[in-house]
Amino acid sequence: MLEKLNRKIGKYAIPGLMKYVVIVYAVGFIVHQINPYFYETWLMLDIDKLLHGQVWRLVTFLIQPIEDNFLFLAIMLYVYYSIGTTLERVWGTFFFNFYYFMGVIFNILAVVVIYLIMYFKYGFGYSFPVPLEYLNLSMLLAFALTFPEARFYLMFLIPFKAKYLIFLYLGLMAYTVYNAFSINIDAGICVLVAVLAAMANFLIYFLMSKKHLHPANIKRRMQFKQATRPDVQMGYSSTVDGGHKVITRHKCAVCGRTELDGENMQFRFCSKCNGNYEYCQDHLFTHTHIE
């Protein structure tokens, strides 16, 4: 499904999305330092004010201060930027855009659900500012599932594999919900809805893109990108007019054509073939899959 969406609207995806996300978070920090009440008064996702015409809140709620301490903010932004750009490079721009913006939509839905719960419970709604922290942490979870063997350093000293972030994430979320319910039931409900929204974003995305995110396909895409870098002098040996041999980067596994056979030639790897088989545009969808 996501592959079809990518072919239709992938050209509208934002390259380097995390760069803009980090800038937005930095702006939120600056705004909070200048006026701690400005975000809550004018920018946060307040359903009552949204219903009264302040539609800009559907976007400006992203300028949410995620940290008060500048040092901690710098570390968090560096981690989020590194993880986000890595996921975009491996998944593809469209797929990472889809994951992040779907998380934003689930964040909005969580605020609406909490508002409705409080409205039916007390007769008036309450717009709980769902922290973007849950969306950011879901990126850590996505990274851990995509690169389970990647190595992290806790406190920059203690090494551990990314797959253990899954257990750390689940434990942290469970503790967060438990701690909120220990305060009062309303706080517990708010945090529970926020956590479930972030986890729903993660689960739905990975179910929709199971094939695209298969480890074998990820490895194949990374090898393709490595092989097509301008500075990588490797490829196929082809004979051109005059009997001269040249090195080409692409070669169709069916007809043997390369990029030398036409400036508009396009080549793609087939995700259904067992191996790194590349095909031209005429045979990508018509060849017999190699098992």
pTM of the entire predicted model: 0.72
- Give the three-class secondary structure for 190: helix
- CA nearest to 22, candidates 72, 95, 71, 79: 79
Distances in Å between the Cα of 83 and the Cα atoms of 37, 93, 239, 271 are: 31, 14, 43, 25
Domains along the sequence of the chain with CATH: 2-213 (1.20.1540), 233-280 (no CATH)
Query: Which alpha helices (H) appear in the chain, and where do they start and end?
Result: 2-9, 17-34, 38, 47-51, 57-60, 70-91, 93-122, 133-146, 164-183, 185-208, 215-227
DSSP 47-73: HHHHHTT-TTHHHHTTS----SSHHHH
pLDDT in tens, the chain (291 residues): 777 888 888 889 999 999 999 999 999 999 999 999 999 999 999 999 999 999 999 999 999 998 888 999 998 999 899 999 989 988 889 999 999 999 999 999 999 999 999 999 999 889 998 999 999 999 988 888 888 877 776 666 777 788 888 888 899 999 999 999 999 999 999 999 999 999 998 888 888 776 555 555 555 555 555 554 544 444 555 555 555 556 677 888 888 888 887 777 888 888 777 777 888 888 887 888 776
Residues sharing a CB contact under 8 Å with residue 5, sequence separation 6 or more, in sequence order: 94, 98
Residues sharing a CB contact under 8 Å with residue 130, sequence separation 6 or more, in sequence order: 45, 107, 110, 111, 114, 190, 193, 194, 197
- CA nearest to 275, candidates 212, 217, 210: 217
The answer to whether 237 and 247 are in contact (CB under 8 A) is yes
